[in-house]
Each structure stands twice: as C-alpha cells, then as structure tokens.
Copies of this chain bind each other. A is one copy, B any other.
Amino acid sequence: MAQAKTDDTSSKRAPERHKRGLIDATLDLISEIGIPDTTVSLIIERAGVSRGMIHLHFGSKDKLLIAAIRAFCEDYDAVLERVLEDVEQNPVERVMALIRADLGEALLNERSARIWHAFRGVANPSPDLKRYCGTRDGRARDVMKDAFVTLARQDHAQDGDMLVRDATFGTLALLEGMYVDYLSNTQSFSRRDAERIIRRFIAGLFPDHF
C-alpha cells in the first residue's frame, strides 16, 4: 500500500504538477517548433490542461517562457553539480569531467541544443532571461577557473592570470561552438572528436599536464 496518498493522479489540487507539466510542454514545443510557434493553445493541449491554467499559474505566456528557461537552466546546473560531486580533486580530471558531462548525451542532445539556440535567438531578452542564458555560466566557469589556476601555479607560468583567463574563456567558447555544430550537423557530430579537440586546446596551454 505504498504511495497511498500521493497517487490521486487525476485529482484537482496539484498546482505544482500542473506548473511542471506546463513548463515541460513548453520546453518540448520550443525544441520542436521554436519559440514563435509555441502558442498557448499548443502548450495547454500538450500539457492536457485548460486554457486558463497558464494565466492562473504564471500570469502570462511570457512569464511561463521565463519560468521554462529558468527551469531548463536549473536542470542543467543540477546535472553538472552531480557530476562535480563524484569527481576527484585532480584539476585536469575535474575539467575533463566537466567537459565530458557538457558533451554527454544527458546535456547535449537535440532537445537541449535546440532550446539553447531558441533562447539565444531572442532579440531583446528581458534581463531575467538574459541572466539565465549567458555564456554557460556561473558554476561551470568557476570550477574551470579554479582548476586552471591550480595548473598555472604548478607550472609557475609567467602571466598566469592571462593564461587562466584564456583557458577558461577558450574552453567555454569551444563548448559553445560544439553546441552550434551539434545543432547544424547532428548526424555527423562526434562527441569523441569534440572532447579531443578541447583537450588539445587545453593541452596546448598546459603542455606538462597532458
């Protein structure tokens, strides 16, 4: 008699389930047909809820869009975070784990790549939206930078600051470029090739460690 109470599936009173359902439907549609064609009618149809629901829970379609991208980014961050927890301290390993995660099926797939680009294509993103979609941001960048700082110190590199900045910025730019390429050439895209190229970039900057 497990889940005795949670299971009243068809019930009213499930605001959170409805909100999540609307967000998922929105992200699915964005990945399939793009933001402009993602209409209220299609969203509610896919989520299987009534017309008024979007405005009841989010206030407007635009606010639902913001909530969707926010949820998308939070999911992305959560996956990354989980990867980082399980990884050893060795800075090279940490960076490569991050890259491998970023290029893995869980984060880089057709749905996510399309969603990224859809949001990037928004002309004048509201500050809210912009904050969530900057260069793959925050956590990943910090972890990377820390790792590169460690490497630069070990190497007694001159102008270590610039080295670290270049490594971080370059790696992130390469990852961005991979996402673009994945979207354009999904069939022929190779995760192994992508990883090797990024590794080569980093190896070029920190030759003693690769």
A interface residues with partner B (beta carbon < 8 Å): 30-37, 114, 117-124, 130, 133-135, 165-166, 169-170, 172-178, 180-181, 183-185, 193-194, 196-198, 200-201, 203-205, 207
Q: How far is the CA of A180 from the CA of B134 in the complex (A)?
A: 9
- Chain A interface main SS type: helix
- Of B36, B180, B198, which one neighbours A135 at CB under 8 angstroms? B180
Distance in Å from the Cβ of A116 to the closest Cβ of chain B? 9
Give Cα A184–Cα B172 distance, bound, in whole angstroms: 13
What is the chain B residue whose CB lies nearest that of A168?
B197
Least Cβ distance of A163 to chain B in Å?
9
**Complex Cα spacing A135 to B32, Å:** 21
Contact B183 A173, beta carbon cutoff 8 Å: no
Question: CA of A30 to CA of B124 in the docked complex: distance in angstroms?
Answer: 10
A197 contacts which of B30, B170, B178 (Cβ < 8 Å)? Answer: B170
For residue A183, which residues in chain B have a CB less than 8 angstroms away from its CB?
120
**Which residue of chain B lies nearest to A190 when distances are taken between CB atoms in the complex?**
B169
- Inter-subunit contact B180/A174 (CB<8 Å): no
Q: CA separation between A121 and B194, bound complex, in Å?
A: 22
20 A–B contact pairs at CB < 8 A? A30-B123, A34-B122, A34-B124, A114-B123, A117-B120, A119-B121, A165-B193, A169-B181, A170-B201, A172-B177, A173-B176, A173-B194, A174-B177, A174-B201, A176-B176, A176-B181, A200-B205, A203-B204, A204-B205, A204-B207
> Are the CB atoms of A123 and B177 closer together than 8 Å?
no
The docked-state distance in angstroms from the alpha carbon of A78 to that of B200 is 32
What B residues does A31 contact at CB under 8 A?
A: 123
Contacts of A176 in B (CB 8 A): 173, 176-177, 180-181
Tell me if B196 and A166 are in contact (CB < 8 A): yes
Contacts of A165 in B (CB 8 A): 193
Cα-based distance from A32 to B37 in the complex (angstroms): 20
Q: Chain B contacts of A33 at CB under 8 A?
A: 123-124
